[in-house]
Amino acid sequence: MKKIWIAVPLVAFALSACVTINIYFPAAAAEKAADKIIEEIWQVQKNDKPVVKTPAAKE
């Protein structure tokens, strides 16, 4: 009888753990979002670079 009290909750837990949630992402929207993120990253990297000043040429 004690085995049943242990087995029933374990079976219930195992069955509840087998739930899969599928989310549909439209390919075009995902690609557009990825392009926007990449563009923002490149913009930040360009702004973070220090400005290198070259000395004026002496004549």
Tens-binned pLDDT, residue by residue, of the chain (59 aa) = 677 788 898 888 888 877 777 777 788 888 999 999 999 888 876 666 655 566 665 65
Residue entry with tokens 């002496």: 58
pTM score of the predicted model: 0.37
The DSSP code sequence of 6-52 is HHHHHHHHHHHTT--------HHHHHHHHHHHHHHHHHHHHHHSPPP
Q: What is the model's pLDDT at position 17?
A: 78
Q: What is the model's pLDDT at position 35?
A: 93
Q: What is the model's pLDDT at position 32?
A: 92
